[in-house]
Amino acid sequence: MRLFLSIAVAALTPIAVWAGDRKPNILLIVADDLGYADLGVHGCKDIPTPNIDALANTGVRCTNGYVSCPYCSPTRAGLLTGRYQTRFGHEFNPGPKGPDSGLPLTETTLADRLKAAGYVTGLVGKWHLGGSDKQHPQKRGFDEFFGFLGGAHTYFPGKTQGQTILRGTKDAEENAYLTDAFGREAVAFVDRHKAKPFFLYLAFNAVHTPMHAPDAGLKKFATIKDGQRQIYAAMLSAMDDAIGKVMDKLQAEKLESDTLVFFISDNGGPTMQGTTINGSVNTPLRGSKRTTLEGGIRVPFFVSWKGRLPAGKTYDRPVIALDISATALAAAGVEVKPEWKLDGVNLGPFLSGESSRSQPHDALYWRFGAQMAVRQGDWKLVKYDPNADDAKGPLVARLYNLADDVGEKNDLASKEPEKVKELQAAWDKWNKDNVAPLWGGGKK
């Protein structure tokens, strides 16, 4: 009974710690295909990112932060539901159209849940969770939408695969550089809704292909001799500027203490053949977008909330983008119900140092077609895309200890067969609750 009570008290603590006079705004910023190494705070030298760095430096930088897939749409399905997307068949990227190709209607989004809690909800940017009318963002919990429905878009006026920029369901006839437009719309959203709690999902398509940059940005990075890297730098710099404008707006409205901010990329930088190569760099991580190596799934992961979370702290236990839903809901004072079957955990008490538990997750898991991975402590068992860099050949299980081998160079599978068995058994157990993919994706 005593044990039960202490667990019950611990479970209640986060609400007490996080609840305030006002429900906080939630700002969820997602970059697309950003390289792990391409931020100043991660050691990047050739592309200044002062505004994204400031998010890390005014909050907690999760150095073992993951997404639940190395690909755009499945990551977003996990992010917005707080559930491993393989639980509901969203294992691969859907096509742009089709009633059965998008976030299944059985799933509830973070926007649905926050809207039910009285929040004004908005998406600015890339959706990529289905192009049909039923799956339009405004049918999936968002009051407002400005952006596009598919997986990629041109940055200058034009259409991509018949898609245009939409405001709600109408053509927005946008003429600005798209990253600038998303920054402008995010600022306008804050301005419209500053008086009440809001959830803004700001999902840039930068720095995903196509590689389009404004001339001024290209001039700024004229010293970068690699042409693709130069364009990438200009695109990333534009996103950093846009984020700066949103943060300036929060500061001007004195909303910093009332706003919980998350920043992630949806997957690692695409660096291998067969991906949308954009000039990104993932070092010291190995692998690329589309692989379950660290370079595909470990991403910049920053959480900031002025006055509530420590500033400039790092947190090194594994966390995953699935946690963002649970964390945001706790901050909003929403009680998570067991029947929601969230896989994510409220990170608040872990990041603030108030949790008595050593880490949020016993293990993290990935399934992406024939690829898989499981991380337990510092151990990682992984079967990755055989096209990744030096890994020609069939998918085989490799074992790495990330504590001293973050670059996944030293396969310990033959030396530690018991550890391989243990991790494989944990993954098999987790996989029992997954379902078959709802649509194909090959090795994607």
Instruction: Say whether 44 is catalytic.
Output: no
**Is 96 buried (19+), middle (13-18) or exposed (0-12) by CB count in 10 A?**
buried
- Return residues touching Ca ion (CB under 5 A): 32-33, 72, 266-267
What gap in Å lies between CA 422 and CA 284, rounded to an integer? 27
Residue 72 CB, nearest approach to Ca ion (Å): 4
Distance of CA 195 to the CA centre of its chain: 27
- Residue from 42, 128, 136, 361 carrying the catalytic annotation: 128
Give the nearest residue (CB) to Ca ion: 72
SS3 344: coil
Least separation in angstroms between CB 267 and Ca ion: 5
Smallest CA-to-CA distance from 281 within 295, 302, 266 is with 295
Q: How far is the CB of 205 from Ca ion (least distance, A)?
A: 9
Query: What three-state secondary structure class fits 13?
Result: helix
Q: Which is nearer to Ca ion, 32 or 294 (CB)?
A: 32
* Least distance to Ca ion, CB of residue 321, Å: 12
Closer to Ca ion by CB, 82 or 125: give it: 125
Provide the minimum distance between the beta carbon of 208 and Ca ion in the complex, in angstroms, as a whole number: 6
CB of 274 to Ca ion, least distance (A): 14
3-state secondary structure 155-215: CCCCCECCECCEECCEECCCCCCHHHHHHHHHHHHHHHHCCCCEEEEEECCCCCCCCCCCH
| Shortest distance in whole angstroms from residue 221 CB to Ca ion | 22
15 three-class SS: helix
Q: Which residue, chain included where needed, has tokens 């992630």?
A: 264
Q: Which two tokens stand for residue 394?
A: 């069939």
128 is catalytic: yes
Residue closer to Ca ion (CB basis): 72 or 351: 72
Identify which of 115, 125, 79 has the alpha carbon closest to the alpha carbon of residue 321: 79
- The single residue of 44, 62, 69, 72 carrying the catalytic annotation is 72
Q: 174 Cβ partners below 8 Å, 6+ apart?
A: 157, 165, 181
Of 265 and 304, the one with the shorter C-beta distance to Ca ion is: 265
DSSP state of 83: S
Residue 386's identity, in one-letter code, is P
3-state helix, strand, coil in the chain (%, to 5): 30, 15, 50
Residue nearer to Ca ion on the CB measure, 115 or 212? 212
Closer residue to Ca ion in complex, CB, 107/266: 266
User: Do strands 301-304 and 259-265 pair parallel, antiparallel, or not at all (unpaired)?
Assistant: antiparallel
**Whole-Å CA distances, 428 to 9, 28, 366:** 33, 32, 11
Measured from the CB atom, the residue of 197 and 268 that comes closer to Ca ion is 268
Q: Which of the residues are catalytic?
A: 72, 128
